[in-house]
Homo-oligomer: A and B are copies of this chain.
Amino acid sequence: MYIKKQRLLTPGPTPLLPQAMHAMMGADIHHRTADFRKLYKQVLADLQFVMGTKNDVLVLVASGSGALEAAAANFLSPGDHVLICSAGKFGERFIEIAKAWGLKATVLTAEYGGAVAPEVVERALAEHPDLKAVMVQASETSTGSMHDIRRMGLAVKQTKALMIVDAITGLGTMPLEIDEWGLDVVAGGSQKAFMIPPGVAFLSISPKAWEAGRSAQLPRFYFDLRKELKNAVNGESAWTPSIAILLALAEALIYVKELGMDKLIANAEFLAQATRKAVTALGLELFSSSPGNSVTAIKAPPGMDSGVIVKEFRTRFGSIITNGQGSMQGQIFRIAHLGYFDISDCFMLIAQLELILAANGYPVQFGRGVAAAQEAYAAVAIAPGAVLV
In the complex, are the beta carbons of B367 and A366 less than 8 A apart? yes
Chain B residues whose CB sits within 8 angstroms of the CB of A25 once the complex forms: 25
A-B contact pairs, 7 of them (CB 8 A): A1-B267, A3-B340, A5-B340, A351-B373, A355-B381, A359-B386, A367-B371
CB-nearest residue of chain B relative to A386?
B359
Q: Which residues of B contact A2 (CB under 8 A)?
A: 259-260, 263-264, 266-267, 270
Among all A-B residue pairs, the 10 with the closest Cβ atoms: A367-B367, A367-B371, A347-B351, A366-B371, A2-B263, A366-B374, A2-B267, A348-B348, A363-B389, A359-B382
Question: How many copies make up the complex?
Answer: 2
Q: Tell me the A338-389 residues at the B interface (CB within 8 Å).
A: 340-345, 347-348, 351-352, 354-355, 358-371, 373-375, 377-378, 380-383, 386-389
Query: Which of B343, B360, B373, B377 lies in contact with A386, CB distance below 8 A?
Result: B360
A1-B267, A358-B387, A359-B386 are known contacts; what are 16 more A-B pairs with Cβ within 8 Å? Answer: A3-B267, A3-B342, A317-B343, A319-B344, A344-B348, A345-B348, A351-B370, A351-B373, A355-B374, A355-B381, A359-B378, A363-B387, A364-B389, A366-B370, A366-B388, A370-B371
When chains A and B are docked, how far (Å) is the Cα of A264 from the Cα of B387? 39
- A351–B373 Cα distance when bound, in Å, is 10
Residues of B within 8 A of A386 (CB): 358-361
Q: Is A128 an interface residue (CB 8 A)?
A: no
Contact at B344–A351, with CB atoms within 8 Å?
yes
Tell whether, in the assembled complex, residue B366 and residue A382 are in contact, meaning their CB atoms are under 8 Å apart. Answer: no
Contact A270/B382 with A25-B25, A343-B317, A358-B388 known, Cβ cut-off 8 Å? no
